[in-house]
Amino acid sequence: MSIPIIVGNWKMHKTIAEAVAFVKALEQRLIPEDRACLAVPFTALRACATHALRSRIGAQNMSDAAQGPFTGEISAPMLLEAGAQFVLLGHSERRHLFAEDEGLIRRKLERAIHQGIQPILCVGELLEQRRAGQTEAVVVRQLESALGELTDPGSLMIAYEPVWAIGTGETASCAQAVEMHQLIRRYLSRWNRPVPILYGGSVRPDNAAALLNESEVNGLLVGGASLELDSFLSIVEQGRRG
């Protein structure tokens, strides 16, 4: 079994100094096989990338435009120049708190691929959608709207993150995660190329192993538990047991 990809998503946490201290300490404890990634605040990208040797550093969001009069936005070339290797797109907090719609997420994804920054497309249903039996339809619609026109997935990764599990302490069961990963994999099979599928939503050191045990789960997207070095490392280390 290949080593899973563990992506920390720091959201709006950590100053540059805090971020650098974390990355330096992390690097001391990673082994060459580890596939640890950190999605850090824009301000910390350059400094983290400078200190990252085994880990990969990325961003949490990106504009769909290459440049222009878009106050407060940041472009793919700027991220690449700052040392970002990947970018999260369509995270549920972007979709729901910042009203990013499916058209915008599709344009961001196309832009990321065009500019050569690896996209991690996040998809997932709301609790009311799951209760209404719409989970599969919602996720397929999110995939189709973002990826429907894509001829080559390149280095694309998908993160399945049920919105009701993000930051709530409530994780999807392994069976729920596997069912959705299978659905997503069937959708992705059109390209005949492996696209890693990560699970995210209240992943912690005490539930990571069970999720990673599932061959459908190629990695994890970790929010809250990525903020402390020991809990993030514990999850990375559990990925080594494959």
221 belongs to the binding site for ligand PGA (CB under 6 A) = yes
Q: Which residues in 145-164 contact ligand PGA (CB under 6 A)?
A: 161
CA distance 234 to 212: 13
Instruction: Give min distance, CB of 202 to ligand PGA, in A.
Output: 4
Residue 65 or 143 with smaller CB distance to ligand PGA: 143
- Is 161 noted as a catalytic residue in this protein? yes
> How many whole angstroms separate alpha carbon 6 and alpha carbon 234?
11
Q: Indicate the burial class of 36 (C-beta count within 10 angstroms; 0-12, 13-18, 19 or more).
A: buried
Exactly one of 48, 224, 236, 239 binds ligand PGA (CB under 6 A); which one?
224
Closest CB 23 distance from ligand PGA, rounded Å:
19
Q: Is 196 in the site for ligand PGA (CB under 6 A)?
A: no
Q: Which amino acid is at 221?
A: L
Separation CA 52–CA 46 (nearest Å): 10
The token pair that represents 101 in the structure block: 């719609």
Is 167 a binding residue for ligand PGA by CB under 6 A? The answer is yes
Which helix or strand (DSSP H or E) is residue 88 part of?
strand 86-89
Is residue 182 helix, strand or coil? helix
Q: With binding defined as CB under 6 A, does residue 4 bind ligand PGA?
A: no
Question: Which of 91, 93, 100, 125 does the annotation list as catalytic?
Answer: 91
Q: Does 55 bind ligand PGA (CB under 6 A)?
A: no
Active site residues: 91, 161
What is the contact surface with ligand PGA in residues (CB under 6 A)?
Answer: 9, 161, 166-167, 200-203, 221-225
